[in-house]
Structure 1
């Protein structure tokens, strides 16, 4: 990005570096386009035709006429024509042919200037495409690194808490991951059933069932053996004074529990099942962090 933005390298060098980046990033279309920028375009390849338009190379699209040369050739032409313009002067002549000579030189300068302007536009389009591609890869990788770092720190903390307070829950996680990796409907259903059991086991671990009740949201809530969500919500309510956080966790738990309980039906894809498992994992971690914060 700095090489492009600060004009530190010639266009040919930029294309070579970007081509290597495209290979590392698995961007096949960009690699093909950059190959045309290195060797020249053609009038048959779909990607060549696409980027002839993207880089504004057409002079007559219907006749397939345009600037097919590689970017290095366009830059060389720009340099040559710019040198010619610098050396051109209006002739100091008089007589019958003065006007004709001046007109010819003026027309030549105008034509060359127009060509230079057009080629400079192509160069600008190419560099713009290069910058867009490099920026996309850069920010994508930066986000991946950030997301991995955040999740890794979160995971390390959650695993410690799960192992400390409800080890049996942690032992079931590899089973879920294995079934999700298989991806077939039966495995997905089994994985979601395990997710529900993890939530149930989690509730028993952090808030064992009792005959008592608790007031939540103005209602008396049972804390009996089958009231898993009630007991998790009671645990949360006793450890945070934030009503909005309690409400968010309660709603998330309700939606999650309802969805993993439909695992016996064939309407949950493997992708959604993975999302539901991750949501389960993150939710349990947040709830346990409340206990950690509480001491």
Structure 2
């Protein structure tokens, strides 16, 4: 269901970008499609913003913009600064008038896109009839005909209306276009990432069924903990990742009380019950013919193992290890990737 919803959102974002780029329909209609896109991806902030753009900015009983509509006007690029009109005030000690220096005041234009587009169309229609009438006076005539004033000033005013209103429309359109473009990129990237991770997850799950079937159930427990809003559940997800990696190590390289002697120096490492990272590194070294691969995977294993052990030790001491949701998600992904690399040997 979520996959279908994301696919619909991606297709709709592509369609909206095409509408903008080819100017296929009035912007007001495109905004309504943008509103649907925001609802599809559950972007509630964008829903409120686009509702204001589609139906007009909210105002108080006094005719002023509400705080919410004022904030959203900035997102649309509707804000601008203007000089406050010069204020004439009379000194309290003299009768001489003084002029207060104008200050810059921030304002926002609030006409909806539909109103602004209608204004431009109406101005264009007026421009078509605002031409100067032809006057014919014979060169032999002694009559001094009155030549009426032309419509140049009217045409200048109309042109100014068209230009200023179009600039405002384009400002809003550019902000909405940027939003749709960013959504489009996120959906595309998210779809690619999800496909890549889904393939990796399926591969890992298939291999785990053969060597460590209990790990599959533990991953399900991890996912359930991630749905929680409680940071203790996120920490539990990290604990479970540690148990999964340890069970994989127990299956691939069972613990031994006899240390392993490393080549080239006489140094030895323990491969007991708690040294599951050491055991997995030894398994990788024994299976891989690539020193670079062994070094990279071994480095990843050490990194995630140290962090998982740190959370585990904190829990054993009765202290609470702070684990954010983002951090818990990363360790789950790391766990899958590392196990995938190991099982691929």
**Could you say whether these structures have the same fold, taking a TM-score greater than 0.5 normalized by the shorter chain as the test?**
yes
Matched, 1:269 2:323: yes
Question: Structure 1 residue 166: deviation in Å?
Answer: 2.5
Structure 2 equivalent of residue 78 of structure 1 = 120
Residues 91-133 of structure 1: CA deviation (Å, up to 9, x unaligned): 55697976x824xx32222221111111111111222122122
Question: Structure 1 residue 287: deviation in Å?
Answer: 0.9
Structure 1 equivalent of residue 188 of structure 2 = 142
Matched, 1:24 2:40: yes
Conserved? CA contact 2:235–2:321, under 8 Å: no
Q: Which moved more, 1:204-213 or 1:246-255?
A: 204-213
TM-score (ref. length: structure 1)? 0.80
- Report matched runs for 1:1-295 at 5 Å: 1-41=17-57, 42=59, 43-53=64-74, 54-56=76-78, 60=82, 67-90=109-132, 101-102=149-150, 105-179=151-225, 181=227, 184=230, 187=233, 190-209=236-255, 211=258, 213=260, 215=262, 220-222=267-269, 224-226=271-273, 227-263=275-311, 264=315, 265-271=319-325, 272-290=327-345
What is the alpha-carbon root mean square deviation over aligned residues?
Answer: 3.3
Secondary structure of 1:68's partner?
A: coil
Conserved? CA contact 1:74–1:123, under 8 Å: yes
Question: Structure 1 residue 221: deviation in Å?
Answer: 4.2
Distance 1:202 1:60, change over 3 A: same
Secondary structure of 2:149's partner?
A: helix
Conserved? CA contact 2:79–2:106, under 8 Å: no
Residues 145-197 of structure 1: CA deviation (Å, up to 9, x unaligned): 22222221111110111111233433433444455555656655555444333
Q: Is there any run of 5+ residues in structure 1 with no aligned partner, and where? A: 291-295
Question: Structure 1 residue 140: deviation in Å?
Answer: 2.0
Rg comparison, structure with higher value: 2
Q: Which moved more, 1:266-275 or 1:157-166?
A: 266-275
Task: Tell me the distance in 2 between the aligned counterparts of 1:281 and 1:171.
Answer: 14
Q: Which moved more, 1:162-171 or 1:208-217?
A: 208-217
TM-score (ref. length: structure 2)? 0.70
Task: Tell me the distance in 2 between the aligned counterparts of 1:159 and 1:288.
Answer: 10
